[in-house]
Amino acid sequence: MLVPVLLAGGVGTRLWPLSRESRPKQFLSLTGEASLLEKTLARLARLDDLGPALLIGNADHRFVMAEQLRASGVDGKVLIEPSRRNTAPAVAAAAFEALGAHGEDAELLVLPTDHAIADDAAFAAAVATARRNAASGRLTLFGVVPGRAEPGYGYIHAGETLSTGVRTVRAFVEKPDMDRAAAYVADPDYYWNSGMFLFCARDYLDALARQAPDIHAAAQRAHAQAHTDIDFLRLDAAAFAASPADSIDYAVMEDAEHAVVVELDAGWTDLGSWSAVAQANGTDAQGNSVHGDVVIENTHNCLVHSEGRLVTALGVRDTIIVETGDAVLVADRGSEQQIRALVARLADAGREEATQYRKAYRPWGSYEQIAVGARFQVKHIRVKPGGRLSLQKHHHRAEHWVVVHGTARVTCDGRESLLTENQSTFIPLGAVHRLENPGKVDLDLIEVQSGSYLGEDDIVRFDDVYGRSDAEPDTEIAVDPTSNNAPDANAAGRKAD
């Protein structure tokens, strides 16, 4: 049985301000309406003998992972890695889970969820080739035929040809300089390292035990001591943190006795830059790639991306312009590799925009900050059918709720009422309250908070169907409008979950 292992723990700051720590690129719709994760899940439909997927990511993103997995219709489970220890221990934990669920015949197809593939049929054919090699005990990488000199990628130096499209692995080259990268494009023995793998779960664990026993032991303990939280499997935090942080390439593949590379020519890109996004989406005759409400004139070789507001460009060349609700990036295309450093500078300055996004997902739905000022905050809250926020109260703020779509069941100090479109209610400071959606369609409402302190740590939770504590707020964004930097006073309101 083939078990997809989908890696969803990346951050993707090179695509800031769209991709941030609280909403990384794998959950974004960068090449169409579906997110990169949803497209990865849809791609699995072309594969045979498929078992339930194992989706691995961190706790901050568990609800959006679960929601996109549910919406895809793919059977699967979400594994929570309690700390970032790179791919080797994460995949090892998935291997132990697959062996326990499916026995010694379990094969793992390891896929990053933040990449794009244009030709799903070619991808499925490469997977079929890799499965034939996995059956003979080989550990398989997918090597992409390079289309340009790319110093930001890792490369695989291929050796002997074993069969059509299958070669031994001679060496790995990590991020060569431009001259060497250009030479590799012209050399048929070099491939881009896609970060995708296929092998039997037992073969991977045996190789890991020989070559990185500390990682093997830590992952085994973390899985053995894991516990179920709602529908999530949480790996044991202490055991997982004890693992060295290492990738599959370094921990296993570089010294593996039976490593092979399968050629993948399927329009692959890791979408690691705004230029890569532009290339994946196509450009017009002037080399421009535009998204959203954009009007350009006399503009050449630019990417212009709007998430909401009208963005116009006039007489501009070789420029990246990205607009979101709370930040705008304007960058020369030759400087885009420095975006990560820019984001680090914002984070060092305490700017919330570096990591947090105004829209966040919760088990009951989502919320998005609309406006914030002195002693007030406005949010758009969406509660999916059957969703329930916790029964709670606040010591420092009152709330007004206005229903704009759907039906709300409101509990306030023991009194229950139903609100429909254009109806509103007031939740006084200190009132014990709850919001629910009893209907069959999404509930959309506008919440206006007012008070002396709007941090989301101002919450006393009495009951929660999702098993969260007071430290895990229903909504989280709170900033001081009088400061240019997100202040410590509201830091507790900026938790990831």
Quote the pLDDT of residue 230.
80
In which band, very low, low, confident or very high, does the pLDDT at 200 lie, cut at 50, 70 and 90? very high
Residues contacting 312, CB < 8 A, separation 6+? 294, 295, 296, 297
Do 40 and 113 form a contact (C-beta atoms < 8 A)?
A: yes
Query: How crowded is residue 94: how many other Cβ atoms within 10 Å of its Cβ?
Result: 30
What pLDDT does 489 receive?
27
Q: Is the pLDDT confidence value at 480 over 50?
A: no
C-beta of residue 449 within 8 angstroms of C-beta of residue 398: yes
Give the mean pLDDT of 332-342.
94
- Say how far apart CA 280 and CA 25 lie, in whole Å: 14
What pLDDT does residue 357 have?
A: 84
pLDDT of residue 483: 30
Name the residue among 346, 324, 338 with its Cα closest to residue 23. 324
The single residue listed with the structure tokens 């791609």 is: 43
Average pLDDT, the chain: 90
Where does 256-393 have alpha helices with state H? 274-281, 339-348
Instruction: List residues bridging with 229 in a β-sheet.
Output: 232
| 211 closest CA partner among 179, 252, 266, 242 | 252
* Among candidate residues 386, 380, 328, the one with its CA nearest the CA of residue 359: 380
CA distance 278 to 409: 45
Q: How far apart are CA 105 and CA 18, in angstroms?
A: 41
Report pLDDT for 474: 52
Cα-only R_g, the chain: 24
81: helix, strand or coil: coil
| Angstrom distances, CA of residue 69 to CA of 64, 74, 85 | 8, 6, 23
Adjacent-strand bridge partners of 76 = 53
DSSP summary character for residue 38: H
Residue the block writes with tokens 């692995």:
169
In the prediction, which pLDDT does 205 show?
Answer: 97
Give pLDDT, residue 331: 97
Query: What span, in angstroms and rounded, lies between the C-alpha atoms of 276 and 285?
Result: 17
- Where in the chain are the domains? 2-269, 276-348, 358-494
CA atoms of 191 and 143, how far apart (whole Å)? 5
Exposed/middle/buried for residue 173 (C-beta within 10 Å: 0-12, 13-18, 19+): middle
Mean of the pLDDT values across residues 343-353?
Answer: 95
CB 401 within 8 A of CB 408: yes
Query: What single string gives the DSSP state of each residue in 225-285?
Result: T-EEETTEEEPPHHHHHTSPP--HHHHTGGG-TTEEEEEE-S-EE---SHHHHHHHH---T
Mean pLDDT highest for which of 86-95, 147-156, 228-237, 348-357? 86-95
* pLDDT for 496: 28
Residue 174's pLDDT band (boundaries 50, 70, 90)? confident
pLDDT at 135 over 60: yes
300 beta partners = 317
CATH value of 358-494 in 3.90.1150.10, 2.60.120.10, 3.40.50.620, 3.40.50.1820: 2.60.120.10
Is residue 208 within 8 Å of residue 89, measured between CB atoms? no
18-40: per-residue pLDDT in tens?
A: 999 988 999 999 998 899 999 99
Residue whose entry in the numeric block shows the structure tokens 């809250």: 381
Q: Would you state the pLDDT for residue 487? A: 26
Q: What share of the chain is helix, strand, coil (3-state, %, to 5)?
A: 30, 35, 35
- Contact (Cβ atoms closer than 8 angstroms) between residue 65 and residue 24: no
pLDDT surpassing 90 at residue 134: no
Model pLDDT for residues 396-414, shown as the tens digit of each residue: 999 999 999 999 999 999 9
Spatial CA neighbour of 88 closest among 265, 268, 254, 313? 254
Name the CATH code of domain 2-269 (choices 3.40.720.10, 3.90.550.10, 3.30.470.20, 3.90.76.10). Answer: 3.90.550.10
Burial, 156: exposed, middle or buried (Cβ in 10 Å; 0-12, 13-18, 19+)? buried
pLDDT in tens, 43-83: 999 999 999 999 999 998 998 899 899 999 999 999 999 99
Helix axis angle, 201-211 to 87-102, nearest 10°: 140
Q: Positive or negative CA dihedral for 198, 200, 205, 211? A: negative
Whose structure tokens read 């090892």? 92
Would you place residue 475 in the very low, low, confident or very high pLDDT band (cuts 50, 70, 90)? very low
What local confidence, expressed as pLDDT, does residue 151 receive?
84
pLDDT score at 465: 82
CA 92 from centre of chain:
20
Q: For strands 268-269 and 116-117, give the pairing.
A: antiparallel
At 320 the pLDDT is 98
Closest CA to 23 of 56, 65, 53: 65
Say if residues 296 and 314 touch (Cβ distance below 8 Å).
yes
3-state secondary structure 7-37: ECCCCCHHHCCCCECCECHHHCCCCCCCCHH
